[in-house]
Structure 1
Amino acid sequence: MPSSEHAPEGITFDLDDTLWCGKETLQKATRAFHDHLERSYPLITQSLFQSTWTNVLSSTDLRDFTALRQATLKQCAESVNYNADDVVSTSMRAFLAARSSPTLFDGVEVLLQRLQVGMPLALKVEN
C-alpha cells in the first residue's frame, strides 16, 4: 500500500477501448446513421455518401470527423434537393445517439462502483 504522501488522488479513464470497444460503437453508430438516411432521405444512398465523403476528405486538411460528416451531408442533400439543414441535423442526431450509447465491457460497472468508494473518478474527453 502506498504511503499517504504518494497515494493517488483519483483515477482518470479514457473512454473508447477502455470502458467499451470503440470500433464496435462506431460501427453501430455508422449503421444507425445510414439506416436513418435510407429511411428518411432515400436519395442519399451509401454510394452517394461515400463518393461525396471521399471528395470532401480529399479537398481539405480538416480531420474533425464531425465537421467532415456534416459537410458531406450538406453536399449530398444539396445534390438531390433535400433541405440541407434538416438532413444534417436529423442525421447527426441519429449518429450521435448511437455513438453515445456504447456497450460496456463485462464487469466495468462493478469495477467503477468499487473504485469510486475509495477515490474520485474522472473521464478523459477528446475534442
Structure 2
Amino acid sequence: MPVRAISFDLDDTLWDTAPVMQRAEETIHTWLVRHYPRVAQRYDVAALHALREQMASEDPARAWDFTHLRRRLFRRLAREAGYPEAEFSAQAWEVYFAARHRVTFFHDVLPVLEELAHRFPLVAVSNGNADISHLGLDHLFRFALSASDIGQPKPAPAIYTETCARLALPPAQVMHVGDHPEHDILGAARAGLRTVWLNRRRQRWPNDVAVMPDAEITDLHALPALLGTTAGG
C-alpha cells in the first residue's frame, strides 16, 4: 500500500534534547535566584534535577507525563520555601516552558520537512511536551499528539492508532520516523505503521528489540528519496 502520511518523533529526532533540557534547568535556577531566592538557596541545578528524578521514581504510573511531573515539582518547591503555590508554579512553568523550546534543529530538519509537507500530511508524535507552535513548526504539521494527550506513552500503540484515526488512513499507509528503537520503531510497528529508524549516531540495533525497522537512515536528507521508492507500495 502507498505511504500517504508521515509521523515524526520530536525530541532527539528533530533536535538534540540533552543540551536543551540542561539549559532549561539552568534558566529556571537563574530565575529562582532572582525572584525566589529561598528555593535557589535550598537547591542548585543538580539538586533540582535529582529531586525531579526522585519524584518520578515515587510515582512510576505518571513518570512518563513530563508536564504533570514538572508542575508537581514546582508546587512542591513553593510549599517547601513558603511561597504562594499557585503564583510560583504558574510563573515557573512559563519560564521553563519557554526555555524548553529554545532548540537548535539538526541541519537537515527544516529543509526536509518543508519538502515533505508539500507531498504528505505530516504529524508530530511525541512522549514529550514540546509544542509545535512554540517551535515554529505548526505550518508544517497537520497536527501533533503527545503521550499526555492520549494518557499512555510510546511504545504503547494508542498514540499511533489515534494518529491513523485522525488521518483517516489505515496504519499501513502511515510511516513513522523516529530515533528510539523501542518507543518509535517497536511501538509504531506493533500498531501496523511502516517505520524508519533515524540512526543519527550510527548505533547498533539493540538485541532486545525483536522488531526491525522497515528502513534505516542516518540523515533526514535520505528520507525523500526513500519515500520515492516506497510511496507506491
Relative to the length of structure 1, the TM-score reads 0.79
User: How many residues get paired?
Assistant: 122
Corresponding residue of 1:32: 27
Tell me whether 1:13 sits opposite 2:8 in the alignment. yes
Whether the 8 Å CA contact 1:32–1:95 is kept in 2: the answer is yes
**SS where residue 44 of structure 1 aligns?**
helix
Kindly indicate which of the two structures has a greater share of residues assigned to helix.
Answer: 1
Distance in 1 (CA, whole Å) between partners of 2:81 and 2:34 is 15
Distance in 2 (CA, whole Å) between partners of 1:43 and 1:55 is 21
Shift of 1:16: 0.7
RMSD: 2.3
Counterpart of 2:72 in structure 1: which amino acid? A
Counterpart of 1:90 in structure 2: which amino acid? Q
Whether the 8 Å CA contact 1:33–1:92 is kept in 2: the answer is no
Taking a change above 3 Å as real, the CA distance of residues 73 and 8 of structure 1, as seen in their structure-2 partners, is same
Distance in 2 (CA, whole Å) between partners of 1:20 and 1:121 is 17
Whether the 8 Å CA contact 2:6–2:123 is kept in 1: the answer is yes
Relative to the length of structure 2, the TM-score reads 0.46
Shift of 1:53: 4.2
Corresponding residue of 2:105: 104
**SS where residue 118 of structure 1 aligns?**
coil
Shift of 1:57: 4.4
Taking a change above 3 Å as real, the CA distance of residues 118 and 83 of structure 1, as seen in their structure-2 partners, is same
Runs of at least 5 residues in structure 2 that lack an aligned partner in the other structure: 128-146, 148-233
Deviates more, 1:111-120 or 1:82-91: 111-120
Whether the 8 Å CA contact 1:49–1:73 is kept in 2: the answer is no
Taking a change above 3 Å as real, the CA distance of residues 57 and 18 of structure 1, as seen in their structure-2 partners, is closer
Q: What is the identity percentage for the equivalent residue pairs of Structure 1 and Structure 2? A: 28
Kindly indicate which of the two structures has a greater share of residues assigned to strand.
Answer: 2
Whether the 8 Å CA contact 1:52–1:76 is kept in 2: the answer is no
